[in-house]
Amino acid sequence: MSNFRLETERLVICEFTLDMVHDVHVNSLDDDNRRFVPDEVFENEEEAKETVEFLMSQYGTPDGPLVYPVLTKDAGVNLGYVQFVPLDENTWEIGYHIAKKYTGNGYATEAVKAFLPIITEAKGVVEVHGICLEENKASICVLEKCGFEPVFRGMGIYQEEEREIFKGIWKTK
140 CB-near residues (< 8 Å, 6+ apart) = 132, 134, 166, 168
**Total Cβ atoms within 10 A of residue 41:** 15
Tens digits of residue pLDDT in 60-92: 888 889 999 999 999 999 999 999 999 887 889
Q: What is the pLDDT of residue 64?
A: 85
Q: What is the pLDDT of residue 97?
A: 95
1 pLDDT more than 60: no
Tens digits of residue pLDDT in 108-123: 999 999 999 999 999 9
